[in-house]
Structure 1
Amino acid sequence: MEKLKRYVVFLIGLFVNSLGVALITKADLGTSPISSIPYVLSLNFPLTLGQFTVLFSLLLIVLQLVILRKNFRPEHILQIPVSFLFGYFIDLCMALLSFVQPQVYGMKVLYLLIGCVVLGVGVYMEMLADVVMLPGESFVRSVVFRWATEFGMTKVAFDVTMTVVAAVLSFVFADMLSGVREGTIVAALLVGFIARLINRRLEFMSQALFGGTPAPECSE
């Protein structure tokens, strides 16, 4: 019963996460670092943001297999169906928010901040469930495990790398910077802070929901 509740919380968190990504993207000030490469590609090719997110997630899973080798555990395979579901949720949320097209810069900033809060809540819920990691974080943890690096610095390096690669791809395909803007930096700074703040404020939730230990520290 506890496992079932954890997966329900995770699935809700995954949808909330997708809603946050969609809100940030709809703000038209860039998107979150982990979504920056799929977003830039979606602006230049026929596939949607969700579809490119699935492909990018599968690439990260393959890279984890290469990095971890014999330490790649069977439970890592769960990232595959989660990736497809995450991509579907993103496209669903983008469709549901089709009416969101802010023109004034102030409204764009507002949607960006709301998206960061929503995404932070989604990240917290996924960490609270503590059943499956999304490929982005799992990739970072694989690097930390393989080369004994510090998680926080590795996560920052990963986010920066994703953003830089997305910017380069934008110039290659569109001859201009598109899809990577100030909102990408804001999301990188705010989302993890919001998730950790919620985690500290709601430490009792793990005990209340699952009768176990507090949720692990949110590391996004």
Structure 2
Amino acid sequence: MEFSGEELTLKRIFNYVFGLFLITLGVAFSIKSDLGSAPVSSIPYAMSLIWAIEIGVATFIFHAFLVLIELILLRRDFKPKHFLQVFVGVLFGAFTSFSVSLMNFIPPAGNFLIALAMSVLSIFFIALGLFFYVPTNIIPLSVEGVTQAIAIVSKRPFSRIKVYLDITIVSSALILSYVFLGNLGSVGIGTVLGALFVGTTVKYIHKINERITGNNVDMKKM
């Protein structure tokens, strides 16, 4: 069986699902730290606070908007399978709920250093998840899909565009929260750290993997 012109192997499926799960584990660590949500969930969470809608509905709206941006950027290179990114959010939401429930077994952060350590773990798991699932070229989350689209159009490295986009998402969440709620809402120091360092961490994971295995993983393949 083929998908995206490549054989849909068990390894590709495993890397895809495992990568998505690692990202949600990172999101769960960010929530547990209480230092701000992960960048990937900052805008949907802000939307849910502002308009009193469920986080799942907010996530659906946000993902649909990003898919529209992809369509505008890629034009003829936009593939029908990319519309499925909106529905991958359902799987992502289920994984997020499960990962958050796993955090119940971990005591709350007793001090700032422990909370900061949880934020660092959040960054690592999100970056590692991206490294596993993005190159499978199955169906990316729309956040990574639009990152790939911008990287392709601008001819810039995926890791660099990831940093720029995360900063843009966090800044937008901060503006929305401040204008409509009068506070920082979903944004905290952990959110800012995630926006600054997830993309960079992906780059170093890529370099370490290339040095160990000799394989250059394509993070812009769509």
TM (norm. structure 2) is 0.80
Distance 2:136 2:73 in 1: 26
Gaps of 5+ in 1: 208-212
When residues 132 and 215 of structure 1 are mapped into structure 2, their CA distance, relative to the original with a 3 A threshold, is farther
Report matched runs for 1:167-206 at 5 Å.
167-203=174-210
Shift of 1:149: 5.5
Distance 2:51 2:118 in 1: 25
When residues 18 and 139 of structure 1 are mapped into structure 2, their CA distance, relative to the original with a 3 A threshold, is same
Shift of 1:153: 5.4
3-state DSSP of counterpart to 1:202:
helix
Aligned to 1:13: 19
When residues 105 and 44 of structure 1 are mapped into structure 2, their CA distance, relative to the original with a 3 A threshold, is farther
Report matched runs for 1:109-128 at 5 Å.
109-128=116-135
Letter in 1 for 2:140: M
Shift of 1:19: 0.8
When residues 122 and 51 of structure 1 are mapped into structure 2, their CA distance, relative to the original with a 3 A threshold, is farther
Report matched runs for 1:8-157 at 5 Å.
8-98=14-104, 100=106, 101-146=108-153, 148=154, 150-151=156-157, 154-157=161-164
Aligned-residue CA RMSD (Å): 2.9
When residues 43 and 206 of structure 1 are mapped into structure 2, their CA distance, relative to the original with a 3 A threshold, is farther
Aligned residues: 213
Distance 2:198 2:135 in 1: 16
TM (norm. structure 1) is 0.80
Distance 2:131 2:208 in 1: 11
Shift of 1:192: 2.4
Deviation string 1:121-141 (CA, Å, 9 cap, x unpaired) is 211111353433221122133
Gaps of 5+ in 2: 2-6
Matching of residue 3 in structure 1 with residue 5 in structure 2: no
Distance 2:216 2:181 in 1: 46
When residues 83 and 206 of structure 1 are mapped into structure 2, their CA distance, relative to the original with a 3 A threshold, is farther
Letter in 1 for 2:8: K
Shift of 1:190: 2.6
Query: Which deviates more, 166-175 or 154-163?
Result: 154-163
Identical positions, percent: 30
Distance 1:51 1:25 in 2: 19
Letter in 1 for 2:26: G
